[in-house]
Amino acid sequence: DTAVSQTPKYLVTQMGNDKSIKCEQNLGHDTMYWYKQDSKKFLKIMFSYNNKELIINETVPNRFSPKSPDKAHLNLHINSLELGDSAVYFCASSPGTSGAPTYNEQFFGPGTRLTVL
């Protein structure tokens, strides 16, 4: 009964390939996020979807494309992978994005370690 799950846990691929990471949450939350954690463990938000609508799109290369088929799922597709894309990618979810404080608590998945060779 994992709250936020990601697949795969590890992903090793060659430069230039296209890959996808999947995320699912069973918390009934409306909002989902993708974060990137680099080799120095710095975490940075990439995208956020609220009820399947893109609401946050930080300065991320166009090769990264999130897709939310429904509010329980947020996938991340990466085209033409580069060495610098190697990182741990975390999915998170929160109840929503209204001003109510409880809406802003984010629950994180276990991460997907992407290694580009």
DSSP state string for 59-95: S--TTEEEEEEETTEEEEEE-S--GGG-EEEEEEEES
105 contacts other proteins (rule: CB under 8 A):
yes
Strand 107-108, strand 87-94: pairing: antiparallel
Q: How far is the CB of 3 from other proteins (least distance, A)?
A: 10
> CA distances (Å), 28 to each of 5, 32, 72, in order?
13, 11, 7
Q: How far is the CB of 21 from other proteins (least distance, A)?
A: 14
Whether residue 21 contacts residue 75, with contact meaning beta carbons closer than 8 Å, is answered with yes
Rounded Cα distance between 110 and 89, Å, is 9
44 contacts other proteins (rule: CB under 8 A):
yes
Q: How far is the CB of 99 from other proteins (least distance, A)?
A: 5
Write out the binding residues for other proteins, residues 10-39 only, by CB under 8 A: 31, 33, 35
The contact pattern for other proteins, residues 71-100, with x = CB under 8 A and - = no contact, is -------------------x-x-x--xxx-
109 contacts other proteins (rule: CB under 8 A):
yes
68 contacts other proteins (rule: CB under 8 A):
no
Rounded Cα distance between 25 and 91, Å, is 9
51 contacts other proteins (rule: CB under 8 A):
no
Query: Tokens at residue 111, please?
Result: 């991460």
Q: Which residues bind other proteins (CB under 8 A)?
A: 4, 31, 33, 35, 40-45, 48, 50, 55-56, 90, 92, 94, 97-99, 101-111
